[in-house]
């Protein structure tokens, strides 16, 4: 289970360990160090439009991370990643809850995301939270030219309220 895992705000010193996990999980289309720095720059202070978190194992190692951007009432899940040894422990659900809570804090009326069409594990997670497929972006993931399924959650506040009553994930 995830009981010995702590979720906290991502900070600049987490970028190195996050990049290691990013490259291990997404070797063909991993984010760059510069992209993480840019996202974190928008995650602090007044007017922040991003929320990034990391999950630390009991040994202090980063075992997951997630990020959300909020623009004009729409949340966009930028990334969610969980180390393979923590798959099927509930950590992905926990990170997604963090992002949906942030979306409600940002007063988002909807939340969107893209997920690889071949990543059925992630798609099932998102569906459990009420996300529905709304389209496909052809060749979205490069350099592999893999399509992305666009998914939408139309009422993040209801999803978060449902989660607090134990009905989700």
CA distance 124 to 145: 22
HEC-encoded secondary structure of the chain:
CCCCCEEEECCHHHHHHHHHHHHHHCCCCCCCHHHHHHHHHCCCCCCCCEEEEEEECCCCCEEEEEEEEEECCEEEEEEEEECHHHCCCCHHHHHHHHHHHHHHHCCCCEEEEEEECCCHHHHHHHHHCCCEEEEEEEEEECCCCEEEEEEEECCHHHHHHHHHCCCCC
What is the C-alpha radius of gyration for the chain, rounded to an integer number of angstroms?
Answer: 15
Q: Find the catalytic residue in 52, 126, 140, 141.
A: 126
Nearest to 86 by CA among 114, 66, 68, 103: 66
Q: Find the catalytic residue in 39, 98, 114, 140.
A: 114
To the query of whether residue 140 is one of the catalytic residues in this protein, the response is: no
Residues classed as catalytic: 114, 126
């Amino acid at each position: 289970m995830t009981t010995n895992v702590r979720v906290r705000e991502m900070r600049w010193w987490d970028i190195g360990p996050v990049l290691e996990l990013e490259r291990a999980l997404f070797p063909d289309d991993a984010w760059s160090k510069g992209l993480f720095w840019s996202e974190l720059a928008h995650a602090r202070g007044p007017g922040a439009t991003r929320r990034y978190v990391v999950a630390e194992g009991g040994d202090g190692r980063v075992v997951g991370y997630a990020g959300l951007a909020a623009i004009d009432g729409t949340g966009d899940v930028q990334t969610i990643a969980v180390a393979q040894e923590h798959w099927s422990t509930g950590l992905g659900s926990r990170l997604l809850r963090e992002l949906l809570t942030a979306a409600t804090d940002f007063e988002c009326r909807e939340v969107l995301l893209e997920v690889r069409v071949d990543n059925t594990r992630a798609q099932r997670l998102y569906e459990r939270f009420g996300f529905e497929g709304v389209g496909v972006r052809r060749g979205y993931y490069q350099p592999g030219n893999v399509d992305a399924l666009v998914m939408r959650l139309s009422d993040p506040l209801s999803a978060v309220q449902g989660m607090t009553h134990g009905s989700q994930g």
